[in-house]
Amino acid sequence: MKFGVFQTHGSSWTSFIFSSLMLCMWTSVECWSYYYSDKKMVWDEARDWCRENYTDMVAIQNKGEIRHLIKWLPKKDTYYWIGIRKINDTWTWVGTNKALTVEATNWARGEPNNQNKHLKGGAGEDCVEMYIQNRYAGRWNDERCTKLKYALCYTAACKNDSCHHGECVETINSHKCDCFTGFYGEKCEQVVKCNKEEVTTPDKGSVNCTHKYGDFSYDSSCQYSCEEGYQLNMSRPLTCTGTAKWSEQPPTCEPVQCQELSRPERGSIKCSDPLGLSSYQSTCEFTCNEGYVLSGSPSNTLRCEASGNWNSSKPFCEVVQCPALQELENGVASCGDDADMRFSYGNTCSFSCAPGYQLVGPSRVTCTSAAEWSEKMPRCEAITCKVPEGDAPLITQCSQPLTELRPDSNCSFSCEEGFELQGAKIIQCSEDGQWSEAIPTCNVLGCPAPEIPTSAKINCRPSPSSPASTVTPHPLGMVCSFTCDEGHELQGALSMECVNPGQWSSVPPTCTALRCPLQKAPENGQINCSNSEPVYNSQCYFTCNQGYSLDGHELLTCDTYGNWTGKNPTCQAPAPVTAIASAVTAGGALSLSGVPLAIWLLKRMKQKANKFELSSNSDITAPQEFFKNSVDSLI
C-alpha cells in the first residue's frame, strides 16, 4: 500500500536538493524514497510495517528533510509516527540508536512536555509524532506509543549488491559506488592489474602466485621460495597493491649462511667455500697442533647444511693426556703445581725416593704427543750392599741376613786357621749402598817367596816326598832347594825351610859363573876367543904364524868345571914331513886322553857307521854335549 514514491538524497541535506527533485519510477530500484501507510497503527506496529515492507521508519535527522516531507505529504490534518523514541530517558534515533541532536529537533512549542492533557498524570509520552497541516507543518509532539497514527517509512536506494567491490553511497536520486582499494568501474566491478612480467623467477628459486580477484590483479600474492640450501633475501610475498604496483622488488635466492667458524685455540681450520664464505655446502676441516687432539665433535670436518647449521658442533683442541702415573712406592713423583696439567702433553714428572731407597730407572719422564710417557716408570728400590763374598778361608758374619744388608748393617770377618786377615775386620753398609771399606782377604800364614838367585832354579815342596808346590806365600814347613845353571857354582845353603812365619832357615844361595884360566897367544901364533872373559862355553881358536905348525888343539872350549878342553897348543918350528903325516893319520883326537875321550871316540865311530857326516865343528862341540849329559846323570 504505497502512496507515493519520491526520490530524495542520501546522507547530507542541502537546500539545493529541492531544486532538483526527480521522481523515481516504481520499478526503478536504488532510490531513497518515502512511503506512508493508509492505516493507523501503534508505534511498534508502524516500525515493523516499515522494516518489513521498506527499509525503516523515517528517522528525521535535520530540518531539510522535514521541509521536504511537508512539501511532499498530502496537506491533510494528520499525524505520522517517526523513528524517534525515548530510550533510557534520552530521545534516540531508532535506526542508528544515536541520541537526537538539539539542532535536528523540531518540537512544537511547549513540547516535549511528557504530558497528556486528557490523562491524569500525563506520563509515558515516549514516542514522537509529526503533525502535517498548513499551520503547524512538521512540528513534533511527544505522544504515548500506543496511540494510532500513520506510519512514515523510507527505502534506501543502495542494495547490498549495488556495488561489487565498494561502498554504496546514496545520492539525490540515485547512489554511487565508492570503490574499495584495488577496484574501479561504475559498480566497482573492475580490478586493478599489476605487471605480470615483473614477477621474475630467481636463480635457484621458484614463485607461486595466488590470485584472489584475477590473474596478477589487486591482492594477488606471489610467494617466492628457494631450492634447498638457499634462502630469500626478503621473505615477504609480492602483493599487487591498489596502485597497480607490486609491493616489493622480486627477491633473490642466496646460499644459506652458517655462523662463521673461527680457528680453534691451539689448532687450525681449513675451509672450502664453493658457494660463498661459510655458506651452504661449505666444509671446514679442523686440525690441532702437536700434542693436542680434536674433541667435542664426532668428526674433524664440519659441513654447512641447508638449515644454516653446521652438521655438528665446533670441535676444540684438547691437550693430549698421558696415563695417570701410579704412586711411586717409597718415593715421590712430582709433576708440577698445575693439577689439570699433571699428565698432559709436554709436562715433565720427576722422581725421588725416600731415604734408604734408590731410583732404578729414569729420574724424569715427559708426556709425549703420542699420549705416552717418554720412558718407563722408575721404581724405588731399597738400598742394600752387595753380599761381601770372600775367598774360602774368609769367614763372614753379618748383623743382618745376606738379602737384607741395608745401610747401617755390619759384617765382620775372620780367617780360618793358618791364615791371617788382611783389611778391615768390620765393614758397615753406608747410605749409598757401598761398604765402608773393601772386603778383606785371608793371607796364608807362612814365608814370603824366596828371592831366586841369578842363574839358579828353585824347587819348593811342602815335604820332601810331595810334588813341587807353587803356593805363595810359602806355608810353614815348606822346603825350597836351589840348583845353579850349567857353568855356575852354588855358594851357600842348597836348601832352606820356612820355620816361622816370615822366617826361612837360611838365606838363598848364590850361583857364580865358573871361569877358565885366561889364555894367551902361543909363541909364534895368534889367539882368537869368542868372549873377552873366559867364562863357561867360551872358545879360543889358535893359529900359528906362517912356517910354524900347531901342536895341540887349535880350538879350546871352557868346560863346566872351569877347565879348557884339550891340550894347550904351541907353535913348532918346521919339522920333517913324515912326523907330521903320522900325527895326522892318528887324528887330532889322539892328543885327547882319559875316559871322556874314549867315549867320545866310540860315539864318533857310531855316528860314522850311521853314515852321518860330521863337520869339523860338530867334531868339537860333540864332547860338550856328552859332558853335559854325563853331569846331569851324575846329579
Cβ distance to ligand NAG smaller for residue 249 or 430: 249
Tell me how far apart the alpha carbons of residues 427 and 374 are, in angstroms, rounded to a whole number: 40
How many residues at the interface with ligand NAG, by CB under 6 A?
33
Q: Based on the shown chain and the rule CB under 6 A, indicate whether residue 301 belongs to the binding site for ligand NAG.
A: yes
The grid coordinates listed for 100 are 537526537
Question: Which DSSP symbol is given to 148?
Answer: -
Binding mask 34-53 for ligand NAG (x = CB under 6 A): --------------xx--xx
- Is the bond into 473 cis (omega within 30 degrees of 0)? yes
Q: Is 497 helix (H, G, I), strand (E, B) or coil?
A: strand
Which residues within the stretch 304-333 sit at the binding site for ligand NAG (CB under 6 A)? 311-312
For residue 287, the minimal CB distance to ligand NAG (Å) is: 14
Q: Using CA atoms of 404, 406, 409, 410 in order, give the dihedral in degrees to the nearest 10.
A: 80
Is residue 469 within 8 A of residue 496, CB to CB? The reply is: no
Question: Which DSSP symbol is given to 477?
Answer: T
Which residues within the stretch 184-213 sit at the binding site for ligand NAG (CB under 6 A)? 208, 210
Tell me how far apart the alpha carbons of residues 634 and 514 are, in angstroms, rounded to a whole number: 19
For residue 150, the minimal CB distance to ligand NAG (Å) is: 12
Cβ distance to ligand NAG smaller for residue 326 or 532: 532
| Amino acid identity at 76 | K
For residue 545, the minimal CB distance to ligand NAG (Å) is: 13
Which residues within the stretch 412-451 sit at the binding site for ligand NAG (CB under 6 A)? 428
For residue 563, the minimal CB distance to ligand NAG (Å) is: 4
Nearest residue to 315 via CA among 281, 277, 265: 265
Which residues within the stretch 79-138 sit at the binding site for ligand NAG (CB under 6 A)? 87-88
Strand ranges across the sheet with 364-366? 331-334, 348-353, 364-366
Q: Based on the shown chain and the rule CB under 6 A, indicate whether residue 161 belongs to the binding site for ligand NAG.
A: yes
Cβ distance to ligand NAG smaller for residue 365 or 398: 398
For residue 529, the minimal CB distance to ligand NAG (Å) is: 8
Q: Is 129 helix (H, G, I), strand (E, B) or coil?
A: strand
Is residue 423 within 8 A of residue 440, CB to CB? The reply is: yes
Cβ distance to ligand NAG smaller for residue 341 or 490: 490
- Is the bond into 112 cis (omega within 30 degrees of 0)? yes
Q: Which of 228, 408, 451, 533 binds ligand NAG (CB under 6 A)?
A: 408
Is residue 366 within 8 A of residue 346, CB to CB? The reply is: yes
Angle (CA) 264-270-273 rounded to 5° is: 125
Cβ distance to ligand NAG smaller for residue 3 or 16: 3
For residue 71, the minimal CB distance to ligand NAG (Å) is: 25
Q: Which of 298, 401, 464, 574 binds ligand NAG (CB under 6 A)?
A: 298
**Beta-carbon count within 10 A of 130 CB:** 27
Cβ distance to ligand NAG smaller for residue 114 or 299: 299
Which residues within the stretch 244-263 sit at the binding site for ligand NAG (CB under 6 A)? 249, 251-252
For residue 403, the minimal CB distance to ligand NAG (Å) is: 15
Q: Which of 62, 113, 283, 412 binds ligand NAG (CB under 6 A)?
A: 283
Q: Based on the shown chain and the rule CB under 6 A, indicate whether residue 539 belongs to the binding site for ligand NAG.
A: no
Tell me how far apart the alpha carbons of residues 96 and 2 are, in angstroms, rounded to a whole number: 24
List C-alpha distances in Å: 501 to 12, 95, 348, 452, 497. Answer: 166, 162, 65, 19, 11
Residues that bind ligand NAG (CB under 6 A): 1, 48-49, 52-53, 87-88, 160-161, 208, 210, 233-234, 249, 251-252, 283, 298-299, 301-303, 311-312, 399, 408-410, 428, 528, 541, 561, 563
